[in-house]
Structure 1
Amino acid sequence: MTIRLTPHRYSSAIAVIIFFMASGGHADDSIVPTSGSITGLPAVSFDYTWPDAELPADYYPVTVHSCGEGVTFEAAPERAVVNDDNMIELMFALGLTEHMSAYSAAGPRLRLAAFKDDYAAVTSLGDDYFKLEPLLGANPDFVFSGWNYGFSEDGVSPAILADFGINSYVLNESCRRINNSLTPATIDEWYDDVRNIGTIFGVPDRAEALIAHWEGRLARVAERLPDTDPVPVFSYGFGDDAPGGGLGLTIVSELYRRAGAINVFEDLLEMWGSVSWEAFVDAKPEFIVITDYGSAGAGQSGDEKMAFLSSVDGIDEVPAIANQRYLVLPQEAVNPGIRIIDGIEALAADLYPAQFADLVGTPGFGLSPTSD
């Protein structure tokens, strides 16, 4: 997915190099030091406050590509509806709360503390994925969602919204739900999402600043990883009769590689899905990353899923089960979103404690503070 027209593009590679040299690889009182004025990008702060956006008079119209289809915007949307926390958090992180009319499917647990006021300022359409009539009742001029993240062929879809004159944008990774010819998802694809949303709303500098910030943190992880074989890891998100999680087409496999691990089912080129218990045992994962979806009253918490896995008959000889090696991550650190770097850092620190001991517990490393 590429941007056809943007008013101002930066070289990410140069920004990252300057960013990391300037930061020295250490955390400050709020978040990992950012490039700030050194690269001409605004600084990334813990609460994601930004200077006012400055755009040339001829900035609009802009065109981005959503699942390969061009979508043109004559002005920044003012009444966006966004589905699911990973996409909602990107809107908040880009300082676009005032451009939102409503959100849906936002888990009430594990919300970022930095966004407490943002969630309160925007109308919730409920804990489930949006339905067409309530969605239209929010009077949106833009919808940001994903296939199986709210969009479906028989429910709300970009085509149906277009019939109502409403533009939309589809999360890159989810395009694999309607196009099985695509290759496994990547972090660079997520960066395309960030750039495209930044372009749509006229805040491209903020998007580039976030990307440079994340690249600096990834560089810090990479330089500390030991030169050893990656640790075999299983992604567990759901399922009692059969274990399910992030398979080979999801972004999960790259997240694990960046943390010095390997998804034991990365060769199974499907999205989120189930495998048999027999396949799980044969894969011999040495570590299990459990996804907590943050739902209230529906679904198991991460700790409950951990207890379940430890109770399943016939899998007790799997190394991860035998040695009780688990890490619970919020779904926002597993699906494309602003917390994926948090998840990479947390996993790397659990797998290689000696290499990351001095960073664990310091501001700007690992899982960001939540409000509960």
Structure 2
Amino acid sequence: MPITHAKTLSTLLLCGALLLTSGCGTGTSGPSASAPSTESRVIDNCGRKVSFAGDGPRRAVSLNQGTTEIMLSLGLADRMAGTAMWTDPVMKGLEKANAGVERLAENNPSFEKVLDTEPDFVAASFASTLGKGGVATREQFEQLGVPTYLSPSDCQGKDNSGDGDGVRTAPLSVDTVYGEVRDLARVFGVEERGEELVGRLQARVEKATAGLDASDVTLLYWFANSESPYMAGCCGAPGIITRELGAKNVFDDTTEEWPQINWETVADRNPDVLVIGDLTRKSQTAESAAKKIAFLESDPVTRNMDAVRNKRYVLLSGQAMNPTIRTVEGVEQVAAALRAHGRTK
């Protein structure tokens, strides 16, 4: 039976009153509600302190795929009430868990749609999602007693005040991604799972980069759009991949997260290898890798680039090019491709 908007607001206000003592929501899975933990947990998140008590959220909503996949990887599907904003299929191994969580929208859901799930926690990967023009501001959720969480990778060392996708004031570190895993594990009271996940991710990076020397390789990262292409600047998730491999990004002279750069400039930089986003969403031109490659090989400006003539492409999911746990997947795949293309020493 659909929940009316008035009922939702009433429930959320009640949740706000109860959240710091016992949590709220209608879910019955997870730790026993009859004997909640009394431990208080405080997360320092992007300049805000977010408090949790008891066993943590039971009806969490994740508004971006990055936070969703962390929660699913921590085994929290039974404590999630909804997900949104998908660019790719869910990470391998999480299909079954993801299938049991309602998908509210492929892109941004409405504020009302989120409220209808009666959330007791809302997380997002990007400030634009929890801000004006996004789903709603953090203040709007918090006025209803719903605590929010923003991925540190989109606020630490980053200025989101201007247009576009923001500017990095300091290079993003993979440790920030690991910190998000630990934060979310602490929110839900599953710290041991968080440490286990971080350990697995660290081991994968070490294995992928062992003995690799890509110091003579130049890379270009193309996320989306063929008319005004979004290319990676120096210091976001592609910067993590580049630094882990010891390579160089041909646009490491810009601190913009995803500047739009004309093809004449791209051709002039003539990178050795093109790292191409293979997205399944449909909000920009040339989302899929197939469409990107078809463009590159037919356009008179790009078809004579060395990487295009030699088909030196690496295909990555959009999530691997965002600052998430999938960035580790990006390190693995780019490292493997450089070896396959004979571009390492």
Q: Aligned ranges for residues 153-164 of structure 1 at < 5 Å?
A: 153-155=132-134, 156-164=136-144
Asked whether the equivalents of residues 65 and 85 of structure 2 are also in contact (C-alpha less than 8 Å), the reply is yes
Question: Within 5 Å, which residues of 2 pair with 1:239-258?
Answer: 239-258=225-244
Q: CA RMSD in A?
A: 2.7
Indicate the residue corresponding to 1:221 in structure 2.
208
Q: What one-letter code is carried by the residue in structure 2 that aligns with 1:143? A: V
Instruction: Find the residue that maps to 2:259 and give its secondary structure.
Output: strand
| Residue 189 of structure 1: aligned partner | 176
Q: Give the one of 254, 276, 287 matched to 2:262.
A: 276
Matches of residues 1-372 of structure 1 in structure 2 within 5 Å?
60-75=39-54, 76-107=56-87, 110-147=89-126, 150-155=129-134, 156-175=136-155, 176-178=158-160, 180=167, 182-226=169-213, 229-295=215-281, 300-353=287-340
Partner of 1:25: none
For residues 146 and 89 of structure 1, do their structure 2 counterparts lie closer, same or farther at Cα, with a shift above 3 Å needed?
A: closer
Which ranges of structure 2 fall in alignment gaps of 5 or more residues?
A: 1-29, 162-166
Give the unaligned 5+ runs of structure 1: 1-50, 357-372
> Do 2:223 and 2:321's aligned partners in 1 also have CA atoms closer than 8 Å?
no
- In the alignment, the residues of structure 2 paired with residue 239 and residue 171 of structure 1 have an alpha-carbon distance, to the nearest angstrom, of 25
Structure with greater contact order relative to length (CA < 8 Å, sep ≥ 6): 1
CA separation of 1:59 and 1:229: change in aligned 2, threshold 3 A: farther
Say if 1:147 and 1:177, in contact at 8 Å, map to a contact too. Answer: no
Q: Secondary structure at the match of 2:303?
A: coil
**Rounded Cα–Cα distance in structure 1 between residues aligned with 2:216 and 2:146:** 45
For residue 264 of structure 1, what is the amino acid of its counterpart?
Answer: V
Q: CA deviation at 1:149?
A: 5.5
**Inter-CA distance 83–293: structure 2 relative to 1 (3 Å threshold):** farther
Q: Which amino acid aligns with 1:124?
A: R
SS at the partner of 1:285?
coil
- CA-CA distance at 1:52 after TM superposition: 8.7
SS at match of 1:110: coil
Which deviations, in whole Å up to 9, do the C-alpha atoms of 1:216-253 show, x marking residues without a partner? Answer: 12222332203x52411111011222321322231211
The structure 1 segments of at least 4 consecutive aligned residues displaced by more than 4 Å after TM superposition are 56-59, 296-299
TM-score with structure 2 length normalisation?
A: 0.80
Q: 2: CA distance between counterparts of 1:94 and 1:104?
A: 18
Q: Is the 8 A contact 1:148 1:177 kept in 2?
A: no
Normalised by the length of structure 1, the TM-score is: 0.74
How far did 1:58 drift?
6.4
**d(CA) in 2 for partners of 1:239, 1:297:** 9
Aligned sequence identity (%): 26
